[in-house]
A and B are shown apart, each in its own frame.
Chain A
Amino acid sequence: MKTNPNAKLDEDWKSLDGTMVLNIPFPEDWTDDELKRMKPIVVKFPYQVNYLHSYGQDSPWFAALSNGQLLGTRCKECGFTTANPKLACQECYTPNSTEWVKLPMEGKIHAFTVCYFGAEAFLDQTPFILGLVEFEGVDTLMLTRIVGLDPEEATLDWIGLEVKAKFTKLTQIKPTDVYFVPKS
């Protein structure tokens, strides 16, 4: 590594990309005080992995989505019915009590928002409508995208609106394989 004896230690320098680092300023004669006033060195590097995520016992829910069906689970003991799978009942402690059930293909918007910003992964999709859908006879809600409403016309009147499930043509094995649109 080359040093640059003329550089000032307290000057700002840009983030350094990668590992080829040359000419970091560093005087031949330095004092303790100078080093303690030194601007921080910031290095930047990519940070990415391929990750294996198993849906485990919830896998049938995603398989059903890929085949245009909505599944939930119901507790055989207390009847608590969930829109997303819970192979253990969260409301009554009864081991192995829940069973897979078909969900209705229609529901109502329980709550919603329009996202104008988002996590980096979804920024290019903004503005999009996130919604929680309620189903007749089901105790919990389903988080989903709502399509077919104008994001610029958001209104509380959307709550209670009847919606129906639509499925993407190409499955990605993600919860976004289903989305909801106004029924009429």
Chain B
Amino acid sequence: MARKKVYMVSGGVSKFTKSRQDRTFQAIVKESYDYALKDLKLPAKQVHEMIDGSTASYFSDHFTRQLMAGIMVQDYLGLTPRPSHRVEGGGATGGLNFQAAWREVASERMNLCVAYGFETMSHVNTWKGNEFIALASDISFDFPVGGFYSGYYAMMVTRHMKEFGTTPEQMAYVSVKNHRNAMYNPYAQKSAKLTVADVRNSPMVAWPLTRLDICVMSDGAATTLLADEDTAFQLTDNPIEITGVGTGTDAMRMADRPHKDVVLAPNEKAEDYVGDQFHGGKLKYPGIHSFRAGRTAGNMAYKMAGITNPLKELSFVELHDAYTSSELQTIEDLALAKYGDAGKFMESGAAFMPNIDYGLDFTGEQGTLPINPSGGLIACGHPVGATGLMQAVFAFWQLQGSQPRHFQAMGMDAEKAKVLQLEDPHKGAIHSHAGTGTYVTVSILERPKGQELEFRR
């Protein structure tokens, strides 16, 4: 099937913070929208007029206490009467929205589509917020038992530990990395120079996950602009192509998931999961230790983008690290390490930035495939409907080589603003994830061959 080429041409993020009482959600989205529109060759007003329609993402009607919030953004942005619809799928809401906008352009229904997303989670206290989020678990069988997402993820952790020998210290490496990276990202909600001991000594939330293993709640918004080839090059000299789009699902309740054969990635063989190291001589899958939806989404995106060895072919990954443990699980789903090996992969240093001193000893080469160079959800925050779009914006700036300029625009000094810009990134993957692994999206962004980076180290 001939499919129209789709490019990302621009993006904007309204800095995520704990609380934005100074603006309503429409006005927060507009901040990111205005930023995206002014980062193009044509005047913002003209770009605004060229937009054919939008896709809107926000997760929880409980947090907004406002139904049809999407249309209120659409009219505030002055995009009525152009087409729009809401996209929702738990934590993957933003990633699903990015793909919805991709479909609008790939299907030739639109030449220029804006995907905007937001969440304002500060309207209730943290524990009521946790309750609202836990309503994204089965309210007959799961929520009443002790509905708490950190609890659900912690059960996956204990199983992953039992199954594969993963340790809380390996998880803590993720927290050290993401908080440290975020010191060079002015958009991050949190940043810190931490040690493994700091993470382990932080207050226990759900054994063995501590407060520093878990992302925080945020208010924020993000916008991405997607276009067909003609429109893309009319708007910018360095658009980034979206070459792969994958989506997977799994049962709402992790307890309901089967224990069968591994869904293999292109770089894996069935024999990889047979042997004495697995309980019963063979890995049972997905169980609760792995995300079949993530594996499915990754495989689909890799196939479309022609990627057969993601570890070698990707330059970086921005993935949904709502928990340090889910970063490890996702590394395996995305076939960057075999199932069971993500803990060791983290210790190897491969997932760290090559140019930052983390104060850790690595067992291998540092920085061969940076994961969450931006700081991820753990540091940047997780205003659900915006999160997947934020990842797209960071990946886009990274591939454009424009990140230092955008970070400086946030007031960061020039030297510091360059730190997270990779040397020669070609392909990046973004990964958005819902529930206990219910909806997962993976999209591949690629710098067109021969297109120069805006900033080269």
Contacts and interface: CB of A to CB of B under 8 A. Distances in A.
B144 interface: yes
Nearest to A133: B255
Interface in A33-85: 39-40, 42, 47, 53, 55, 58, 80, 82-84
B253 interface: yes
A119 B140 contact: no
Interface string A103-118: 0000000111111111
B162 to A, nearest CB: 5
Contacts of B141: 84, 143, 175
A58 B157 CA distance: 30
A141 B206 CA distance: 20
Interface in B324-369: none
B448 interface: no
Interface in B111-143: 125, 127-128, 130-131, 134, 139-143
21 contacts: A40-B22, A55-B140, A84-B253, A111-B162, A111-B288, A112-B158, A113-B155, A113-B157, A113-B209, A114-B207, A115-B146, A116-B207, A118-B130, A119-B127, A119-B146, A122-B148, A132-B255, A142-B255, A143-B255, A174-B144, A176-B144
Contacts of B161: 156
Interface string A123-161: 101001011100000011111110000000010100100
Residue among A83, A86, A120, A144 with the most chain B CB within 10 A? A120
Nearest to B131: A119
A131 B162 CA distance: 14
A4 interface: no
A128 B146 contact: yes
Nearest to A39: B22
Residue among A84, A113, A118, A132 with the most chain B CB within 10 A? A113
A90 B256 contact: yes
Nearest to B128: A120
A29 interface: no
Interface string B79-90: 000000000000
B151 A118 contact: yes
Contact of B207 (A118, A139, A154, A159): A154
Contact of A116 (B130, B142, B206, B254): B206
A28 interface: no
A117 B288 contact: no
Given A121-B147, A145-B146, 14 more contacts: A84-B253, A111-B159, A115-B206, A117-B206, A118-B148, A118-B151, A119-B130, A120-B125, A130-B146, A131-B155, A143-B253, A143-B255, A159-B159, A175-B140
A132 to B, nearest CB: 6
B258 A122 contact: no
A84 B253 CA distance: 10
A91 interface: yes
Give the bracket for the number of chain B residues in contact with chain A.
35 or more
Interface of A: 39-40, 42, 47, 53, 55, 58, 80, 82-84, 86, 90-91, 110-123, 125, 128, 130-132, 139-145, 154, 156, 159, 174-176
Contact of B158 (A116, A156, A175): A156
Interface in B175-217: 203-209
B65 interface: yes
Contacts of B21: 40, 42
B257 interface: yes
B305 to A, nearest CB: 30
A150 to B, nearest CB: 12
Residue among B134, B140, B156, B259 with the most chain A CB within 10 A? B140
A58 to B, nearest CB: 6
A140 B257 contact: yes
A130 B254 CA distance: 13
Contacts of A113: 151, 154-155, 157-158, 206-207, 209
B51 interface: no
B127 A123 contact: yes
Nearest to A154: B207
Interface in B198-257: 203-209, 251, 253-257
A41 B130 CA distance: 25
Contact of A125 (B131, B146, B204, B257): B146
